[in-house]
């Protein structure tokens, strides 16, 4: 059985990588200008030969569309990895960075940074601080309020924290400059990669990598943590330190992505659950599968955002359109436990 599971997991990984590459190429072909395979091949020919017969096409493909493709891969993979980590720590597939307040907490920090006209690095630091403060508040409330259903307590605490932080974001929007800051904050909160640049992608890569490293290195401990704290301690795992490190890593990648793209919700909830159905709960296979699926999913959503309407649709709207019905299906199906 283990051999079959390993073979199936590797097959999913290979197919996932191939599909991700195909989607990345297709994403480079989607757009109002320079759409289709012809312009892409022409731009590749210009890049290889050094000719500049169509400088506008080269600018669109390499300076506008390529950063979006890279950002979709990085952000989708990061959010899916964070969601898989949170679901494993709390032993429930209904838990995600969105429900625990990480995304909205990071948004408060980032919105405050935009309101204060801070540089990008400080905005990212503010987003991380806000996301970490939100998840710490939710987990502290869950520890203080000892109920029979701790997951339900965490979800309710997350809803309360989100409402409180949402009030803070609304206050900043009221105080913001209505002609400059307010439109930027409002559009940013909807989630978008319209203005993403290579610098934005490079600026979040160190934080994303730093956050993913402990998730990868502690993947076997993550499997033990899903058994429960008592069983994990019996097997020699320091549950307190491990939980702190994993939460910090998942929060860091979430906050880093939110700081440049805004809130792109539901990926951390939907994608890990789909990955778990494909490769099983083993975190060694679940983490890379969720990352590939998250990257592929965001590439598809970004292509739809650029093509389904005359103007670009914010990504948060499209991900919510898919994620909310999926979440309701989970509730109706009765999947309330880690099983």
Decide: 210 and 281 in contact? Cβ < 8 Å.
no
Classify residue 117 as left (phi > 0), alpha (psi -120 to 50) or beta: left
Mean pLDDT, residues 141-170: 81
Predicted pLDDT of residue 138: 84
pLDDT for 336 beyond 60: no
Residue 305: strand, helix, or coil: helix
**DSSP designation for 266:** S
Mean pLDDT, residues 178-190: 83
pLDDT digits (tens, 9 = 90+) for 291-322: 999 999 999 999 999 888 878 888 988 998 88
Predicted pLDDT of residue 171: 95
CA separation, residue 260 to residues 99, 193, 205, 330 (Å): 20, 8, 11, 30
CA torsion through residues 142, 162, 322, 251, sign: negative
pLDDT for 4 beyond 70: no
Neighbours of 147 (CB within 10 A): 11
Residue 120's nearest CA partner among 33, 194, 207 is 207
By mean pLDDT, which of 31-40, 127-136, 228-237, 238-247 is the weakest? Answer: 31-40
Decide: 172 and 116 in contact? Cβ < 8 Å.
no
- Grade residue 179 by pLDDT with cuts at 50, 70 and 90: confident
- Domains of the chain (ranges; CATH) run 2-333 (1.10.3470.10)
pLDDT digits (tens, 9 = 90+) for 41-79: 887 877 777 776 677 877 888 888 999 999 999 999 999
Predicted pLDDT of residue 238: 85
By mean pLDDT, which of 13-22, 140-149, 168-177, 202-211 is the weakest? Answer: 140-149
Question: Strands, E, within 79-166: which ranges?
Answer: none
């Amino acid at each position: 059985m283990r051999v079959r599971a390993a073979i199936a997991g590797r097959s999913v990984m290979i197919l996932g990588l191939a599909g991700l590459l195909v989607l990345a190429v297709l994403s480079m072909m989607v757009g109002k200008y320079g759409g289709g395979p012809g312009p892409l091949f022409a731009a590749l020919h210009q890049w290889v030969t050094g000719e500049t017969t169509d400088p506008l096409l080269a600018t669109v493909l390499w300076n506008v569309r390529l950063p979006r493709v890279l950002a979709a891969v990085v952000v989708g993979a990061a959010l899916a990895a964070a969601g898989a980590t949170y679901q494993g720590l709390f032993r429930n597939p209904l838990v995600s960075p969105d429900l625990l307040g990480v995304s909205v907490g990071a948004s408060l920090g980032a919105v405050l940074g935009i309101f204060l006209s801070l540089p990008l690095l400080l905005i990212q630091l503010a987003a991380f601080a806000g996301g970490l403060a939100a998840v710490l508040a939710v987990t502290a409330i869950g520890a203080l309020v000892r109920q029979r259903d701790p997951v339900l307590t965490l979800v309710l605490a997350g809803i309360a924290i989100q409402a409180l932080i949402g009030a803070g974001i609304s206050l900043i929007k009221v105080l913001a400059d209505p002609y400059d800051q307010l439109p930027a904050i409002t559009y940013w909160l909807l989630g978008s990669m319209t203005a993403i640049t290579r610098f934005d992608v490079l600026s979040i890569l160190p934080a994303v990598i730093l956050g993913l490293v402990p998730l990868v290195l502690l993947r076997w401990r993550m499997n033990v943590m899903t058994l429960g704290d008592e069983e994990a301690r019996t097997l020699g795992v320091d549950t307190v330190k491990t939980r702190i490190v994993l939460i910090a890593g998942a929060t860091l990648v979430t906050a880093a992505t939110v700081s440049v793209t805004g809130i792109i919700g539901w990926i951390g909830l939907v994608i890990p659950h789909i990955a778990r159905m494909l490769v099983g709960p083993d975190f060694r296979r679940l983490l890379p599968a969720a990352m590939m699926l998250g990257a592929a999913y965001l590439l598809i959503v970004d292509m739809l955002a650029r093509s389904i309407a005359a103007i670009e649709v914010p990504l948060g709207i499209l991900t919510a359109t898919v994620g909310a019905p999926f979440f309701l299906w989970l509730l109706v199906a009765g999947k309330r436990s880690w099983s």
